[in-house]
Structure 1
Amino acid sequence: MTIQPFWVNVNEPTLRQGDYLPQCLVPVFGPNFDGDTDIQDVQVNEFDLIIVTQSCDLENKKARLVAMIPIYPISEFEKINPAFAKKGRWNDVLKGRVEGLHMLASPTNPANNREALVVDFREIYSLPYDYLVKHSTELGSRWRLRSPFLEHFSQTFARFFMRVGLPSTIPEFK
């Protein structure tokens, strides 16, 4: 079976939904952040992120802040979440059975599932549009999700957020 490439390589300052931006600096507020007006230290972490803000909002400059989701190589995700190193766990994610996670093929070796990337919808960061344009320009060449993989990614993100938990349900038929 031939695996179609999920990604296209781009080198432009334009931001789009599905752009993979490595090494983004993200401020992370610790538990002692109290919102006081005094100067406070804020930790800054580096993450590889993928844009989830709609391309039309980015193109029309309707988003001052851009929504981003962490994206990890499987091996890195397993270090943070050792339970995923168990046999069969990635097949559950691949089939959409693990809430909040989505898999994308490797940009450089799509046929090797161990080089796939995992997106964690459970964490969302918002970064300034202007920072991301500058960062993407400094990166030069980067990866962007291709259609229909972009639409599938976007749909999975939307399904994660449109879930509704009910307090009860109709009893099962017996």
Structure 2
Amino acid sequence: MSDSWWSSIEGEQLAQGDLLADCSVPIVVDPTPSAGEDEAKEVEVVSQRLIIVTQSCDLENGKVQFVALCPIHTLDEFAEANAHYKSPKNWEGVRKGQKASLHMLASPEAPEDNTKSLVVDFGHILSLPIEYLTAHAATLGGRSRLQPPFLEHFSQAFARFFMRVGLPSSIAPFK
């Protein structure tokens, strides 16, 4: 396997496919709807590893105030929270792209070792202010950026997750 999945970068410039460690993510503690508009809600801030899904051209041209990101986990981390994935055989469908909400990427540290792969959860999308992310990126030192053609494959998988259409019926099978 080629080790060209990722490049190492530094600085505040952001691009689609950037892996950002230790991002502060607000989580609403009590998701019950408020009775009044001005009612305060308790928010917990957690640290997560995220990958940018916003298009690079939108980031470069200042077209977004908020950046779309998805959590990215090691296989072990994801399996800990999702019992179905504790069995290695269940990862094969993800690797093949058969699970629309998940996308597997090679590890930046050991791309040849599939047990070190990372999984992106497209079913959990969040956005954070671009000002926060650029400042945070500058403090990280080195970080990983997904490279072509793996970046385009990742972007296409993200798009496929959203463009799915369920039909109420279909054409009968040919016999």
TM-score for the superposition, normalised by structure 1 = 0.95
CA distance in 1, matches of 2:172, 2:7: 48
- What corresponds to 1:15 in structure 2? 14
Question: Counterpart of 1:88 in 2: which secondary structure?
Answer: helix
Q: Work out the CA distance in 1 between the residues paired with 2:33 and 2:21.
A: 27
Query: What RMSD, in angstroms, separates the aligned Cα atoms of the two structures?
Result: 1.2
Are residues 1:93 and 2:94 paired? yes
Return the letter of the residue paired with 2:83: P
The count of aligned residue pairs is: 173
CA drift of 1:38 comes to: 3.4
1:4-32, Cα deviation, whole Å (9 max, x unpaired): 33100001210000000011111122313
Letter in 2 for 1:118: V
In 2, Cα distance between equivalents of 1:170 and 1:32: 43
- State the match for 2:54 in structure 1: 53
| Alignment-derived partner of residue 165 in structure 1 | 166
In structure 2, what is the Cα distance between the partners aligned to 1:134 and 1:109?
Answer: 28
Q: Which runs of 5+ in 2 are unaligned?
A: none
**Inter-partner Cα distance in structure 1 for 2:101 and 2:59:** 24
CA deviation string 1:116-172 (max 9, x = no partner): 000010010000000000110111110000011000000000011000010111111
Q: C-alpha distance in 2, partners of 1:106/1:33? A: 39
User: How big is each residue's C-alpha offset from its partner over 1:88-139, in whole Å with a ceiling of 9 and x where there is no partner?
Assistant: 1111110111121000000011111110000010010000000000110111
CA distance in 2, matches of 1:101, 1:166: 22
Is the CA contact 2:103–2:120 (under 8 Å) kept in the aligned structure 1?
Answer: yes
- State the partner residue of 1:72: 73
Letter in 1 for 2:146: L
**What secondary structure, in the 3-state scheme, does the structure 1 residue paired with 2:37 have?**
coil
Calculate percent identity across the aligned residue pairs. Answer: 50
TM-score (norm. length: structure 2): 0.94
CA distance in 2, matches of 1:38, 1:84: 39
